[in-house]
Chain A
Amino acid sequence: DIQMTQSPSSLSASVGDRVTITCRASQGIRNDLGWYQHKPGKAPKRLIYAASSLQSGVPSRFSGSGSGTEFTLTISSLQPEDFATYYCLQHNSYPYTFGQGTKLEIK
């Protein structure tokens, strides 16, 4: 099975900050990776697909990069509505696996 190691597990930041979250795959997964935002009581929302493609309707302050085993999600300028938990998901092979999540909190 492919393991996804996501870091950091939590992050405290301020509105306007630039933040980066990283996911590392235990083996190469090409660009078969998505990034999700999850808020309590809501359905997860896809931000990025195919590692670097922005989901329609998602603000351009979100961006993704990487291929193979190293991936990053960057939020260029945090907004109040961005405080949530973020997950990466590999869909290269079954069983699909999520990273452990990064809880983004207000400083």
Chain B
Amino acid sequence: EVLLVESGGGLVQPGGSLRLSCAASGFTFSSYTMTWVRQTPGKGLEWVSAISGSGSATYYADSVKGRFTISRDNSKNTLYLQMNSLRADDTAVYYCAKEGCSSGCSFDYWGQGTLVTVSS
């Protein structure tokens, strides 16, 4: 059974940093592109970032480019999102998701999400 479990969310002040983790199990983690998606309060889903199976390729939404860094540790089956210079509009539930194939597919499995609140 595929399982994705996010952690690391919480309350942080504007300008602060936070690192999210996503522990994966039930599939060959290193074979799949992994993604972070967020849902801001009262709004829709927003794609945030993706990383290839090997970690050699990374992609970012313009809204987070230069502030967020996606990474993965395939030896630990874990995906990360380092979030720096956080702003109020980064407040959201952050989901990790697995692509449905090695690359270029929609997401077949999602975690339950972790809430990040940016507020003073």
Q: Are A and B subunits of one complex? A: yes
Interface residues of A (CB under 8 A from B): 1, 32-34, 36, 38, 42-46, 49-50, 55, 85, 87, 89, 91, 94-101
> If the complex has contacts A44-B95, A101-B44, are A95 and B108 also in contact, measured as CB distance less than 8 A?
no
Residues in B whose Cβ lies below 8 Å from that of A95 = 47, 59-62
A105 and B95 CA atoms in complex are apart in Å by: 24
Interface of B is mostly: strand
**B92 CB → nearest A CB, Å:** 13
Binds A, one of B14-22, B73-81, B83-91, B109-117: B109-117
**A54 CB → nearest B CB, Å:** 13
Q: Closest residue of chain A to B107, judged by CB?
A: A46
A96 and B60 CA atoms in complex are apart in Å by: 9
A42 and B52 CA atoms in complex are apart in Å by: 26
A36 and B46 CA atoms in complex are apart in Å by: 13
